[in-house]
Structure formats: structure tokens, C-alpha cells
Structure 1
């Protein structure tokens, strides 16, 4: 496997994660991350442990946004010489909703640290850091509910 193949495998990780965020599939996404996951996020300042990240960050955000996508076409990745650790930086986009239900662009960037047990194993996220672009409202209230 080459550096390009390692990059493609990281892009595939983010593409799969995009699908799971859009589907609000916490259980499947959870398995992509190490149980020792540590995260900084747009909702929680510091969360330690995979289940805590899911409850303290993902469950607070994913159900309240739409159109989430990692912009993997501009992903930057660094892979360690032994190819067992990597760091990737990638912008993301989504739609947030003000309290009155009006949508707004809710975009930002993420840095993720990965590890794997051997070069044939899948990447597992060890650390995530999400931040919103400057000037973006911090809270999305979710899609407005339809009334009859």
C-alpha cells in the first residue's frame, strides 16, 4: 500500500462517517472509534471515552442538523512512517436551524487522530476536534416540526 492508498482509506473513513451522521446512526459510527476516544467539540469542551463522546457531543448535535458532509476533496492527511497512526484535517459543512426554524450554514473543520493495529486493519479514531467557522451560531435547534 502506498501513501495514496493510505489517504484513500482515510477518505473512505470520513465518507462512511458522513453517511452515519446523516443517518443519525450512533451505534455504527461508535464502532469506528477506539474506546479511549477523546474529543473536543462544538458542543462539549472536553469529553473522554467513546461513550461519553457519543452522549456528550454526537447525540447533542447530529439530530439537530441536516446535510452534513466532510469535504474530503480537500482533506489533508499525515501518516506515520510505520503507517499505524495518522492525523487528518478536513473541513465540513452542514445546515443548522435557528430557534424559529430558519436554516443557516453551519460549517467548520475537524482534526482527527487515528491508529490501527497493522497496515491491513481499519483506522480507528482516537481523538476528534471539531470547531465551527468564525461567526457561526453555536446551537442548532433542529428542523422545525410540521403542524397540521
Structure 2
């Protein structure tokens, strides 16, 4: 169906926008991609409630410590509701992490993102994310990049 192709294209674009934000450590630029009241699974708590908490407890613990983050969007999987206002996007990612000694390691993982919107054709907004590393991947990375643009 052509309309579902449009929906999938917007889901793909959502993932591409997030990829750029992670690569450039752009927290401010990522905020419009996520609902204010997003609920995520936390690395350190069972649930993280809200975009601000997710940014501080999750994103700021990872984005500035990894490199070469990229989604494998050729393998993107989607589920779109009948009313086309809710969707699930599932993707695998690759990135480079660093040991405390600075040695690079492969840091692959996957994500499930529940997306919503008020009107068909609007950009998708994440309502829930579940991001996890593949088994056996070190959970921490110790790289250092600067936030762009810097927080005020």
C-alpha cells in the first residue's frame, strides 16, 4: 500500500534523525523526536519516566562515550496500526565503544521504538523506547566527545 510506504518512510526518517543526533551528541536536537512523557526501560532503573529523565539517565551516559553509531536501516522492521497513528519500528545498530584503557570494541545492539502521531502524515514521535546491546557486549564505554551544541 502506498500510504504504508509513506508511513515507513517517515519511520525511517525518524531513525535517521536520531542517528545524526547520537553521532553529533546533539541532545537539544533530539528532544522533538520524543514525547515529553516518554517511558523507557532504564539501564539503571526498571523504568525511566519522561524525556528529561531519559536524557539525563540514559542518553548522557552513552552518546558522548561512543563513536560511529549507525542503524542498519536496510533491515528496519515496522508494524503500523490500522488507523496509522501508532507504529513500532525495530532496528539493529552498530557503534564503537571504548574500554577504560581506550581500546575500541564493536558495540552492536537493537531497539524497539513505539511511535505515535495525532494526524496521518505528521512526523512520528517516540512514546517508548527499548534499546539494548547484544549479549556479550560490554555495557559501558569510556570514550569522550563533546556535546554539540554545548548545553547552556
TM-score, normalised with respect to structure 1: 0.92
Residue of structure 2 equivalent to 1:27: 28
Quote how far apart the aligned CAs of 1:41 are: 4.5
Q: How do 1:26-105 residues align onto structure 2 when only pairs under 5 Å count?
A: 26-42=27-43, 45-105=46-106
Asked if 2 retains the 8 angstrom alpha-carbon contact of 1:97 and 1:143, the reply is no
Asked if 1 retains the 8 angstrom alpha-carbon contact of 2:7 and 2:121, the reply is no
Cα distance in structure 2, aligned partners of 1:36 and 1:43: 19
Cα distance in structure 2, aligned partners of 1:127 and 1:61: 18
- Structure 1 gap segments, 5+ residues each: none
Residue of structure 2 equivalent to 1:124: 125
Quote how far apart the aligned CAs of 1:16 are: 1.0
Residue of structure 2 equivalent to 1:16: 17
Cα distance in structure 1, aligned partners of 2:44 and 2:72: 21
Task: Give the number of aligned pairs.
Answer: 144
- Structure 2 gap segments, 5+ residues each: 146-152
Quote how far apart the aligned CAs of 1:5 are: 1.3
TM-score, normalised with respect to structure 2: 0.90
